[in-house]
Amino acid sequence: MAKQIPDLVATVRTGTGKGAARQARREGFVPGIVYGGGEDPLPINIPFNELLKKLRAGRFLSTLWNLKVEGEDDFRVICRNVQRDVVKDLPTHLDLMRLHRNTRISLFIHVEFTNEEEAPGLKKGGVLTVVRPEVELNVMAGEIPEQIVVDLTGREVGDVIHISDVDLPKGAKVTVDRDFVIANISAPSSLRSADDEAEETEEVAADEVEATEMKSEE
């Protein structure tokens, strides 16, 4: 299932240069430029409050956006740079790059766990510990998956789920060149406590046996 691409609304900025950019900021906008895709650069303005909200939501630089500009056809962009005020740390300018459907980009994709009721380890009281709720994948701009699905059917306590255990969406590639952990099913705390006590008992018994043997040698 293709991931729904969020909208980024902007207006065309009349005029270029520092003067036009300062005027945009005074009017409550953040100036930006759209480049690439074989088209001429397009100067734009984005409402400051809307941009700040999206920046604070996170993953702004790794999100594919559907740019909506009045008088222009919608097109897809990804942000390549956000300039900020050195004192207030607020956005002052941004660079957006046009993307075609067949352009490959790297984005963080949500990991969804399914069939928890079919996991014996969870039925026994085991705990699913999610190590990576998102995984960075290199995908086609026109085929961004909604999520990565991890099937927990048959999983037992102690099982560790690596990225190699997951069926990735068609055409997607992992950006990290190692078999990293996605999640694991750990023992319930009560069982861990019982195991710890058993280990301590065994250690005490072993110490007593060793002490007895040492006295016998004396």
Q: For the chain, which residues make up each domain, given as ranges?
A: 7-100, 105-201
Out of 18-27, 114-123, 125-134, 137-146, least confident range: 137-146
Percent with pLDDT over 90 in the chain: 61
Cα separation, 167 vs 138, whole angstroms: 15
Q: How confident is the model at residue 203 (pLDDT cuts 50, 70, 90)?
A: low
Q: Give CATH for domain 7-100.
A: 2.40.240.10
Quote the mean pLDDT of the chain: 86
Give yes or no on whether 7-100 and 105-201 have one common fold: no
Type of residue found at 150: V
For residue 2, pLDDT over 90 is answered with no
Q: Positive or negative CA dihedral for 18, 19, 23, 26?
A: positive
pTM of the model: 0.65
Residue 52 vs residue 17, higher pLDDT: 52
| Predicted pLDDT at 145 | 86
Instruction: For residue 90, name the pLDDT band (cuts at 50, 70, 90).
Output: very high
Read off the pLDDT of residues 140-163 as tens digits, 9 standing for 90 and up: 888 888 889 999 999 999 999 999
Could you give the percent of the chain with pLDDT greater than 70?
Answer: 85
Bridge partners of residue 111, in order along the sequence: 148
The answer to whether the beta carbons of residues 182 and 166 sit under 8 Å apart is yes
Cβ pair 182, 150 in contact under 8 A: yes
**Length of the chain in residues, anyone?**
218
The residue among 175, 173, 170 whose CA lies nearest residue 1 is 170
**Residue 3 pLDDT class (50, 70, 90 cuts):** low
Q: Please give the CATH topology (third level) of the domain spanning 105-201.
A: RNA Polymerase Alpha Subunit; Chain A, domain 2 (2.170.120)
DSSP 8-state secondary structure symbol assigned to residue 118: G
Position 33 scores a pLDDT of: 95
Picking from 106, 108, 107, 110, the residue whose alpha carbon sits closest to that of residue 147 is 110
Name residues whose C-beta falls within 8 Å of residue 12's C-beta, 6 or more positions apart in sequence: 42, 43, 44, 45, 69, 70, 71, 72
Are the C-beta atoms of residues 13 and 45 closer than 8 Å to each other?
yes
Cα distances (Å, whole numbers) of residue 20 to 1, 16, 28, 84, 165: 42, 5, 13, 17, 53
Residue of higher predicted confidence among 106 and 179: 179
Q: How confident is the model at residue 127 (pLDDT cuts 50, 70, 90)?
A: very high
Determine the average pLDDT of the residues in 32-53.
93
Cα distances from 53 to residues 48, 66, 71, 80, 92, in angstroms, run 9, 16, 25, 18, 14
Model pLDDT, residue 121: 94
* Interatomic CA distance for residues 167 and 187, integer angstroms: 26
Contact between 62 and 81 under an 8 Å Cβ cutoff? The reply is no
Q: With cut-offs at 50, 70 and 90, classify the pLDDT of residue 209.
A: very low
